[in-house]
Every structure is written in C-alpha cells, then in structure tokens.
C-alpha cells in the first residue's frame, strides 16, 4: 500500500495536498481509491478557476459511483493532470504520484494547518 | 458495506470488475439472504396465484419455475419475482428484499379459502452461484445431488432435516443456481461453495451483470406507474389465462399502444459513466431519464443504461444525448441484451 509523502496533508473528504510549496498538487488518498474501486473517468476543473477550500471542483467516476472531489485549499487552479484524462487508472495505481488531479496556487498557506497528517487521517477509518 | 433494504451488504469484496469477469468466465457467489421467500399451498392455490401474477402458473410442471410480476390495479409493477412449483399444490416464491412486507400485505389482503400463505423470509439464507463453472461447484459442494434443469427447482432435505431449495435461475445471464437453506446454515454453505471454487461477489458486480443483460431492477426500472408491457416484459404476461390484477390496463395498452418503452441506451463517444436519473435528450428536447446506468465491463467499459422513452425511440440506432453534470454526451438506442455470451 503506497504511503503518502511526509508533507501531504489530508481533508476528511479524502483529498490530499502537498504542503511547503506555493503551487501544491492535490489528489485522492489511497483509502479513497480503494473504496471507489476502478476509476474510469475523471472530470477536472478549468485552469484559471478561483476556488475556495471545500468547493466541489472535480468528479472521480469509478465503476461503482461518481464522487465529488473538494478542494482542500483556496486559490487558483494552475494546472490539471492531462495524463489521467486518457489513463484514469493512474488514480488507482499511484494516487500520491502520477495520479494527482490538479495543482493549486495557494491563496493562504496557513489554511493547510486545519488539515490532518497521514496518521491522524488514517485514524478516521 | 452499504445499507440495502434493511441489510448491510458489500458492494465489492475485491473489485467490481474482477468479480464481474469471474462470473462471465468462471464462477462467482452472491449472498442473496436479503431476498424474500413465500410458501403458498392449498387446493385453490393455482387459481389464486394466476389471479395475482402476470405469467401462467398453470404452465408449470412440478419442479419448474417462471419469472413473473405482481401488479397493482393500474397495471403498474408491485414486484417482479420467480415462482417455482414444488408440489402439485405447493409453490415457492422468491421476491425482492425491499418488497417483502408490501408483497405479503398485498397477498394477505386477497387471500381466499383453501390457500395458505407463509412468509418464510427470515428462515432462509440464500446464495446465488453463477458462471459457466457453476455446475462444477455444484458437483463438488453437493455430491450425489442432481442440478435441476434450466429454471427448475429441487428441494433437498439435509443436515438434521433442514430443507434446502436449489433453483436453476439467476440474475447474471450466466448458467448457475440459487440456493436457499436454513438461515443458521448460511455461513457453512457459503464456505462450502467458496471452497468449491466460487469467488465472492458483491452488489456492484450483481448490478453490472444484470444491467448488461438488460434485466430490470425493481425500484429502478420497474415502478408502480409503469406496466410490464412498457418494461418490455410482455413475454412474462399471459393475457389469455383469464382475469388477474392489472389485466384490464394491459389489454387496453395492447390495443391502443404503449405510452413509453424501456429502451436500451449506449454512449457512443468517450465520456463519463452514465447513471440512473441522468436526463436523456433527442433533438435538443428532454425525452426521458435513465432509470439504470453504469459501466459494462464485458463491453470494454462502455456506458450503458435503460430509460423509458417514447415508443418512436424504441428501435435501435436512434440518436440521443445524455446529460452528465451539465455536459451532453452522444448516445444511441440499442437492442437488449447489451451483452451476448460468445457462442
């Protein structure tokens, strides 16, 4: 089971974001990809969109269900992972690496203090 | 685990697609203990059932079963079920979990002398063993027993007199059997079938398998407001056998035409999976909504679904669009079943 990078922080809605950088990649957790099962389609946000923490910004569709993905932080979407639009299984295979969803330019890095580290996140389930 | 008709049920054990493929190419096992079982008996039972169900139970020989529907006075579907003839005047009915109470009350309210109805649902555990290798599992798990023929039923008495019922039916489009045993023996039988080679499968695979076959799911594709003729189940309606609840409406529909037909829909461009309640458009106007939808693992992951559409759209090749979260994706009507087993 892949471990999250040490600087990943988690939202209770199962997204991760990397801390310590101005532009932070966001994805879904290992736990989330296991629960969702085989991802078959990912709907990504538009680059340039301004989002607030908690906004629904993407959809991950698995064989099982369509799941909303919420931004764990406020800021501007500056890049989306085009690779996963043609190869959505990357979200299952490498959720903390090649399966990232989008990158966000943080409006307020201090927001991330409210998120959980991996140990605290794993304690939720 | 998800709540389902008052039960906690697994959506998947290891993965929907793997479980789906196991049933198409090997053998899988589903826990169907949630389903309901009614026993009907008595000298007037045949006529009574014929008055409540759409198919003709008089056509059944002992040891045979048939798919049938129970309708309301408006011809709408209360439940779809399988009735097996287990004796000259004895019937075993398997009904949907979510409809056990409603079915029982509906039938009890219409009981006549010389008919006994017993809801035995809590007494039975059930499992469906499905797939081309189901026969092998049967042979290993039940040595010396004979598998009933297609749609057939057999009762076996075993283990301290506990009765088991074997039905050569299923909900996957593959060969297989449904097995009902005393509730306390459920785990033991489950382990027996798994040890004989059946792979545990959850609700997710049960849904993709039945959807590929175009089998309706009550609550999604069947409703108290749609008749079995609209649902494309005319084959299971016997209008010649005499009166039954809902018949008048069906006869009128047959004479005057159907207001809608449950139609197969398939996405024709790359896009997200389509799901129940997504709107269906044709020529810019909404003409219906999906009652079921999902990914078809045996069709390369194609998006398939079913919708009640105007009869003009009931033939294959009609161009449609499906609205997915505000974006429309090209689709077309297709013939059911969506999937056919390679010859």
B2-11 per-position pLDDT tens digit: 778 788 889 9
Q: Report the distance separating Cα A98 and Cα A22, nearest Å.
A: 19
Beta strands in B101-240 (DSSP E): 116-119, 124-130, 153-158, 162-167, 176-182, 199-201
**Which residues of A fall within a CB distance of 8 Å from B12?**
37, 64
Assess contact for B51 and B112: CB atoms under 8 A. no
Q: What average pLDDT does the segment A5-20 reach?
A: 96
pLDDT in tens, B121-178: 999 999 999 999 999 999 999 999 999 999 999 988 665 667 899 999 999 999 999 9
Cβ of residue A78 closer than 8 Å to a chain B Cβ: no
| DSSP states along B278-321 | -EEEETTEEEEEEEEEEEEGGGTTEEEEEEEE-GGG-STT-EEE
Contact B273 A59 (CB under 8 A): no
Q: What confidence score (pLDDT) does residue B120 get? A: 96
Cβ of residue A1 closer than 8 Å to a chain B Cβ: no
- Interface predicted TM-score of the whole assembly (ipTM), two decimals: 0.81
Cβ contacts of B40 within 8 Å, gap of 6 or more = B48, B49, B90, B91, B93, B115, B116, B117, B118
The closest CB to that of A41, out of B11, B272, B294, belongs to B272
pLDDT in tens, A38-52: 999 999 999 999 999
Instruction: Give chain B's mean pLDDT.
Output: 95
Assess contact for B336 and B271: CB atoms under 8 A. no
| DSSP states along B58-121 | GGPPTTBEEEEEEE-TTS-EEEEEEEEEEETTEEEEEE-GGGHHHHHHHHHTT--TT-EEEE-G
3-class SS of residue A8: strand
User: What is the token pair recorded at B247?
Assistant: 């018949």
**Which residues of B fall within a CB distance of 8 Å from A65?**
275
User: What is the token pair recorded at B233?
Assistant: 């189940």
**Which residues of A fall within a CB distance of 8 Å from B13?**
none
Q: Report the distance separating Cα B41 and Cα B92, nearest Å.
A: 9
**Closest C-alpha to B291, from B236, B203, B210:** B210
| Order of strands across the sheet that contains A102-106 | A8-10, A15-18, A23-28, A102-106, A75-80, A50-51
Chain B residue at shortest CA distance from A64: B204
DSSP designation for B6: T
Domains of chain B: 2-211 (3.30.1360.120), 260-338 (2.40.30.110)
DSSP designation for B53: B
User: What is the token pair recorded at B250?
Assistant: 């069906």
Cβ of residue A93 closer than 8 Å to a chain B Cβ: no
- Backbone φ and ψ for B246, nearest 5 degrees, come out as 100, -10
Instruction: Give the CA distances from residue B102 to residues A37, B32, B280, B319, in Å, rounded to whole numbers and listed in that order.
Output: 34, 19, 31, 39
- Backbone φ and ψ for B100, nearest 5 degrees, come out as -55, -50
**Closest C-alpha to B308, from B267, B337, B331, B276:** B276
User: What is the token pair recorded at B236?
Assistant: 């299971």
Percent helix, strand and coil across chain A, each to the nearest 5: 20, 35, 45
Q: Report the distance separating Cα B149 and Cα B299, nearest Å.
A: 29
Q: Which value, in Å, is the radius of gyration of the alpha carbons in chain B?
A: 20
- Backbone φ and ψ for B240, nearest 5 degrees, come out as -95, -10
Q: Report the distance separating Cα A54 and Cα A15, nearest Å.
A: 10
Q: Please report, in tens digits, the pLDDT of each residue of chain B (343 residues total).
A: 777 878 888 999 999 999 999 999 999 999 999 999 999 999 999 999 999 999 999 999 999 999 999 999 999 999 999 999 999 999 999 999 999 999 999 999 999 999 999 999 999 999 999 999 999 999 999 999 999 999 999 988 665 667 899 999 999 999 999 999 999 999 999 999 999 999 999 999 999 999 999 999 999 999 999 999 999 999 999 999 999 999 999 999 999 999 999 999 999 999 899 999 999 999 999 999 999 999 999 999 999 999 999 999 999 999 999 999 999 999 999 999 999 988 7
Please give the distance of CA B214 from its chain centroid, rounded to a whole number: 10
pLDDT in tens, A67-93: 999 999 999 999 999 999 999 999 999
**Which residues of B fall within a CB distance of 8 Å from A84?**
none
Q: What confidence score (pLDDT) does residue B5 get? A: 79
**B210 Cα to chain A: minimum distance (Å):** 14
Compute, in degrees rounded to 10, the torsion defined by CA atoms B162, B168, B174, B178: -20
Domains of chain A: 8-120 (2.40.50.100)
HEC per residue, A42-69 = EECCCCCCEECCCCEEEEEEECCCEEEE
Q: What confidence score (pLDDT) does residue B329 get? A: 97
Is residue A114 scored above 90 in pLDDT? Answer: yes
Please give the distance of CA B22 from its chain centroid, rounded to a whole number: 20
Q: What average pLDDT does the segment A97-111 reach?
A: 96
């Amino acid at each position: 089971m892949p471990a999250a990078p040490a600087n990943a922080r988690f939202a209770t809605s199962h997204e991760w974001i990397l801390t310590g950088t101005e532009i932070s990649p966001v994805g879904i957790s290992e736990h989330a990809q296991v629960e969702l099962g085989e991802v078959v389609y990912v709907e990504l946000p538009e680059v340039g969109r301004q989002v607030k923490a908690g906004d629904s910004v993407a959809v991950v569709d698995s064989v099982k269900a369509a799941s909303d993905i919420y931004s764990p932080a406020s800021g501007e979407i500056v890049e989306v992972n085009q690779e996963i639009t043609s190869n959505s299984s990357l979200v299952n295979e490498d959720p903390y690496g090649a399966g990232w969803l989008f990158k966000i330019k943080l409006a307020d890095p201090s927001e991330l203090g409210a998120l959980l580290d991996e140990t605290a996140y794993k304690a939720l389930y | 685990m998800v709540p389902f008709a008052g039960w906690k049920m697994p959506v998947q054990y290891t993965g929907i697609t793997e479980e789906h493929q196991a049933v198409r190419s090997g053998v899988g096992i589903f826990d169907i203990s949630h389903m309901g079982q009614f026993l009907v008996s008595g000298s007037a039972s045949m006529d009574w059932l014929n008055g409540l169900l759409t198919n003709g139970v008089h056509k059944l020989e002992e040891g045979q079963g048939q798919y049938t529907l129970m309708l309301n006075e408006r011809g709408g579907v209360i439940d779809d079920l399988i009735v097996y003839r287990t004796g000259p005047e004895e019937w075993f009915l398997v009904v949907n979990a979510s409809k056990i109470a409603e079915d029982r009350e509906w039938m009890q309210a219409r009981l006549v002398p010389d008919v006994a109805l017993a809801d035995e649902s809590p007494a039975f555990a059930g499992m469906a063993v499905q797939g081309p290798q189901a026969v092998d599992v049967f042979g290993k798990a039940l040595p010396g027993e004979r598998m009933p023929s297609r749609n057939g039923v057999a009762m076996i008495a075993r283990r301290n007199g506990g009765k088991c019922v074997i039905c050569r039916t299923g909900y996957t489009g593959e060969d297989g059997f449904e097995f009902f045993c005393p509730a306390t023996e459920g785990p033991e039988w489950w382990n027996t079938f798994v040890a004989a080679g059946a792979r545990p499968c959850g609700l997710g695979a049960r849904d993709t398998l039945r959807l590929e076959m175009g089998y309706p799911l009550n609550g999604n594709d069947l409703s108290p407001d749609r008749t079995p003729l609209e649902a494309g189940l005319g084959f299971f309606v016997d209008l010649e056998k005499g009166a039954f609840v809902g018949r008048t409406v069906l006869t009128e529909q047959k004479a005057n035409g159907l207001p809608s037909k449950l139609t197969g829909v398939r996405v024709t461009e790359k896009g997200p999976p389509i799901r129940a309640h997504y709107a269906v458009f044709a020529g810019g106007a909404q003409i219906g909504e999906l009652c079921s939808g999902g990914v078809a693992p045996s069709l390369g992951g194609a998006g398939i679904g079913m919708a009640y559409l105007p009869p003009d759209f009931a033939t294959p090749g009609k161009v449609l669009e499906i609205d997915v979260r505000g974006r429309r994706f090209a689709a077309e009507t297709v013939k059911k079943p969506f999937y056919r087993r390679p010859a």
